[in-house]
Structures are given as C-alpha cells and as structure tokens.
Amino acid sequence: MPSSVGPYQTRGSNLVFAYDVGDVVNSYIGEPTTNLLPTPSINTLPTYGNSWGTYNTNQYNGGNYFSIGTISSVSSNIVTTVGNHPLRTYDVVNPQTTGGGVTANVNYFVKKISNTQFSLHAYNDSQDGSQGYINTSTGYPVVWNSIALDQRVSINASSFPTMWWGYPHLPNSGLVKEIIPKGYTSPYAGPKTDCIRLNWIRPDGVTDGMAYNVDASITPNQTVCCSFWMKAVSASAVGQVVQFYHYTYGVTSATDYYMNATIGPLGEWRRYSYTFNSPNNVAISYWFPGTGGMIVDIANIQIEQKTHATPFIAGTRSTTQGLLDISGYNNPLTLGTSYDANAMMYFDGTDDKIVASNAVLPPANNAPITLEAIAKTNNASGWQTVLAVAGSFRQIGFLNNYFYYGGNVGGGNFLLSAGTITPGQLYHLVMVYDGVTAYAYKNGVLVTSGNIGSNGNNNGVNILSSYIASGGEYLNGSIPVAKAYSRALSPSEITTNYNSYKKRFNLS
C-alpha cells in the first residue's frame, strides 16, 4: 500500500493540476471497486445499530438440552449441585421448563462460583455495541453489570429446572463488543471513523468467535477478496492469531474459507486480506481468536469481487472517483488506467490515459509553465508521452533510450536529454518554459535547454492523451506523481522538489 508522503503545493504556488498516488486520502483514492457488504455506511464503518453478533462456538450437547446434574440445594440464590455442573461464567443459557423462579426459554447469564455452584443473572441482549463499554466502577463491560455487581436472579428449590440449553449464536457469550467512536485512524491520515472493539476476556480460557451478521452477495465461481484492518488494544493480543473466516452458502452445500491473521504491535493498525473462490453466492464473515484474554479493534471491512484488495471504500468507487486533482481544479479526473495486484494504477502502453481538461493554464503559447513528474517506462521503444499540454508543444516523455522535452507536433522542436535512461527505473522529470526557452531537468539536474517552438495554445493538461497529434504515444510504465504549474519554477524549487522525492522513490 502507498504511504501519504510528498510535498503538495497549493493554488497559491500556481499549481493548476497535480496528483500523487502516495496521497491516498486527497489524491489517489483507489481503483474502481464495490464493497459487497450491503448498506456499507452502517456495516463497513461500524456504528451503533449495526449487525455484529457473537458466534457461540462452545455449544453444549450439540445444541440440544443438557443436564446440569442433580440439585443439592438452592440457597441465597445460589444453586448447588451434587456433582460437577458444566456451566461457565458468561454462558448464556435458558431452562427447558418453568420453575424455581426461572422461566422456560428465557435467557440468563451464568456466574460460575465453583465446580458445584453457580448463580443466575439478568441477561442483557444488546446487539448494537452500546452496552460494551467498560463500567469504571467495576472494571467489567456494562453488558456484564449483573454479574460484576453480583445482582442475582431470585431463585428457589421448588422445581428448579435441571435441563438447559444455550443457543448457537447468542450475543455476548464470552465475548463483548463495543463501538469506539472515532477509534480508527487511517495509517495514511484522513478523517477518523468508528471501529468495533472485540473483548475476548473470559477468565476461564474459553474463546468464542465474532460474527459479522451481514451477508455479502457474491458471484459464484469467481475470485472474492476479503479484507479488514485490525490492531492490538491489549498487550496480550500482540503476536496472537485471529482466524478471519468465511462461511458461504446459497447454491451448493456450505463451504468454509479462512486465513490466519497475526496481530501486530500494540496500537498499530494493519490490513489483512485473502482470496477464495466459492461455488456459492452468499458469504458471511467471522473472527475466531487463537486464545482468550485479549482485546483488539477491527475496522473497514471490505468484500470485493477481485483478485486483490483495493483501498477501502464504503460503497462503490467509480472510474472518475479513483484519482483526484489535489490542486482542486479538476474533480473528478477522467481515469482510464489499468491496475496492478497492489491496486496501483499503471499505463499499459495501449490506450491508458488521464485527461484533466479543466486545468487553468494561460492560453498564450508563450506563457511560462512547468511540467513535473515522477515516471518510468518499462521499455525504451518509440515515443511515450508522460505529461502534455493539449494544443501545444509543452510535453515530457520518453523517446527510445532518452527523455524528450517539448514536442515534435506539426514540425515543432523537441529536446533530448543528455544520457540514456534505464527501463523500469523511476526518474524525476521537469520541463520549465519561461516563454522563450525550455529547460529540461533529470533528477534535479539541468540536462539541456533550448527553443521548443511557439505554435499552439495551452488548452489543458493531458496525460497519455490521444489528443497528441502524432497519435498513439502511450506510456508503458507508471507515473506516481504528475504536476503542472502556470509559472516557471526556479532551479532552487526544482532541487527542493527532487530532494523531497529522492528517498521515497530511490532516485539517483
């Protein structure tokens, strides 16, 4: 994934067009995609009222009623059994029959006192995360108040039931979820969003899973990519493994897929993703911990019909939303590029282009401008335009083994750089035109200068556009940064810009 680095000039610097794929908040939003989770503003960006639930992986007797054993006594609202009972603290169970102060088919929390004693407590069935916050007076989550405060259900020995049942998907069974408002901060900066906090904190070592009870509709027999962000909240979570799991159904017999996600350092958000191909058309997500006693945050869940994870979107991102002009003049850009396995755009040398038709450049053909780009070509073959001003000779690109500056449009002039280029290597390219002379810079160094012609007008900025009169001069390579200014940058400004990119792009 790209990182948010690099200098971004403002309108005050006469920047009239710019993008930077490293700015994943303001510029490179990402390739077109659709998050297949429904109503993503609720589900992929967790908030109160969404459909998170606990998946009880520790059912008794295959989900049937089970016996807690022979009752010895019920005193002080504590049940004592003759032998060891199977119940555990935080289990949510309900009795088969009414009696002894409890009602059939009503859920109760269990508090295990010993192997032969337990108490029952009122069950809080909140599903929206609002009950997960820690009660500062008890140190326990609010959802467990009845246990933490030892608020026992009033029971007696009269026909107290011995047969009980625990539903398979009861919430809060050994796992507490809570919404953390503005708890997720993108590693690339940007607005904070809510996240879900999963508290696997059963003291008895029993671990349950977290279900994301929102079905994603997928196309059978096509690759699905599932991703999410996670960070360790408690030190005990660092280095632990969470199984990111999908249960699919709807066409054939249910199929399961999963990946093991190793939690990173305390407080560090990391993205996890994997792909699978299912014959079914519905997928639901789960998280299973490898151990109990840990707290993690999860955010930005995304399910895509793709072979790789793209930058997160809550909803759908179109071809005109993936790349934005950080100068503010072009929104959106027309984007027709291809994308690699890292969801980064590239130009395939056939018809990929970006057009910024609204860039405000002086119309006069002798008006000063500057074109700047970080770019590479994958093969040194023929004309390959990187950045061009429509209707003029102002352009930069590759010509066989050289850089070219200016153009050869309608018999105009162009400049070739001193020294050859290496295919596959990124370079910092700048052409400054002061109204009389063009100055060509390669990696911060002036390599040539001269007249590039004065025909034509400055009608906008085109990147790999078929507007170029000679036609078909498409780049086979990449352009992670492109800028156009309505003035001539000074040599010191070019040096400053080059130095700001040098380490990031490993420029020579």
Query: Which of the listed ranges 93-102, 142-151, 178-187, 196-205 does the model predict with the highest average pLDDT?
Result: 93-102
Residue 134 forms part of a structural domain: no
Residue 410 backbone dihedrals phi, psi, to 5 degrees: 60, 35
Clarify whether residues 99 and 206 are in a common domain. Answer: no
The verdict on 283 and 378 lying in the same domain is: no
Asked if residues 77 and 85 have their Cβ atoms less than 8 Å apart, the reply is: no
Which pair of structure tokens corresponds to residue 358?
């609204």
Identity of residue 81: T
The predicted pLDDT at position 486 comes to 86
Distance between CA atoms of residues 247 and 299, nearest Å: 20
The residue behind tokens 């400055």 is 458
Percentage with pLDDT > 90 across the chain: 44
pLDDT band at 378, cuts 50/70/90? Answer: very high
d(C-alpha 154, C-alpha 192), whole Å:
45
500 and 379 within one domain: yes
Q: What CATH number is given to the structural domain containing 77? A: 2.40.30
DSSP 108: E
The C-alpha atoms of residue 445 and residue 443 are separated, in whole angstroms, by 6
Q: Indicate if 371 and 396 belong to the same structural domain.
A: yes
Does some domain include residue 3?
A: no
Q: How confident is the model at residue 61 (pLDDT cuts 50, 70, 90)?
A: confident
To the nearest whole number, what is the mean pLDDT of the chain?
A: 83
Q: Is residue 2 part of a domain?
A: no
Q: If you average pLDDT over each of 108-117, 187-196, 343-352, 458-467, which comes out highest?
A: 108-117
First to last CA, the chain: 23
> Residue 243 pLDDT > 80, yes or no?
yes
- How many CB atoms lie under 10 A from the CB of residue 342? 11
Specify the pLDDT at position 3: 35
Q: For residue 136, tell me if it sits in a domain.
A: no
- Domain span at residue 290? 34-55+176-315
**pTM given for the model:** 0.81
Express each pLDDT in 208-226 by its tens digit: 788 777 889 999 999 999 9
pLDDT for the residue numbered 10:
41
Q: pLDDT band at residue 74, thresholds of 50, 70 and 90?
A: very high
410 has a pLDDT exceeding 50: no
Give the CATH number for residue 244: 2.60.120.260
Q: Could you give the count of Cα atoms lying within 13 Å of 226 in the half-sphere of its Cβ?
A: 28
Residue 204 in any domain: the answer is yes
Domain assignment of residue 492, yes or no:
yes
- Chosen domain end from 315, 331, 353: 315
Q: Kindly state whether residue 44 falls inside one of the protein's structural domains.
A: yes
Mean pLDDT calculated for residue range 318-332: 77
Q: Is the pLDDT of residue 466 over 70?
A: no
Higher pLDDT pick, 457 / 37: 37
What was the pLDDT predicted at 289?
Answer: 86
pLDDT at 182 over 50: yes
Q: Please give the average per-residue pLDDT across 316-331, as a whole number.
A: 80
Residues 467 and 351 in one domain: yes
Is residue 125 pLDDT above 80, yes or no? no
CA dist., res. 392 & res. 454, Å (int)? 8
Residue where a domain stops, chosen among 298, 315, 332: 315
d(CA 391, CA 45): 45
Opening angle at CA 339, ends 335 and 341, nearest 5: 160
If asked whether residues 444 and 354 sit together in one domain, one would say yes
pLDDT of residue 49: 66
**Is it the case that residue 396 has pLDDT exceeding 50?**
yes
Same domain, 424 and 364: yes
Q: What is the mean pLDDT of residues 277-293?
A: 90
Q: Are residues 301 and 263 in the same domain?
A: yes
Q: Could you tell me if 184 and 160 lie in one domain?
A: no
User: Is 90 exceeded by the pLDDT of residue 240?
Assistant: yes
Q: Is the residue at 170 inside a domain?
A: no
390/461 same-domain check: yes
Query: CA-CA distance, 55 to 245, in Å (whole number)?
Result: 12
- Residue predicted with more confidence, 252 or 204: 252
Q: Do both 307 and 358 map to the same domain?
A: no
The residue among 140 and 93 whose pLDDT is bigger is 93
Q: Which of 110, 135, 165 is the last residue of a domain?
A: 165
Q: Are 473 and 404 in contact (CB under 8 A)?
A: no
pLDDT at 377 over 80: yes
Phi, psi of 42 (to 5 degrees): -100, -40
Number of domains in the chain: 3
Write the single-letter amino acid at 175.
L
Specify whether the CB–CB gap between 245 and 278 falls below 8 A.
no
Per-residue pLDDT at 127 = 56
| Pair 306, 380 in one domain | no
Task: Supply the pLDDT for residue 208.
Answer: 78
CATH of the domain at 429: 2.60.120.200
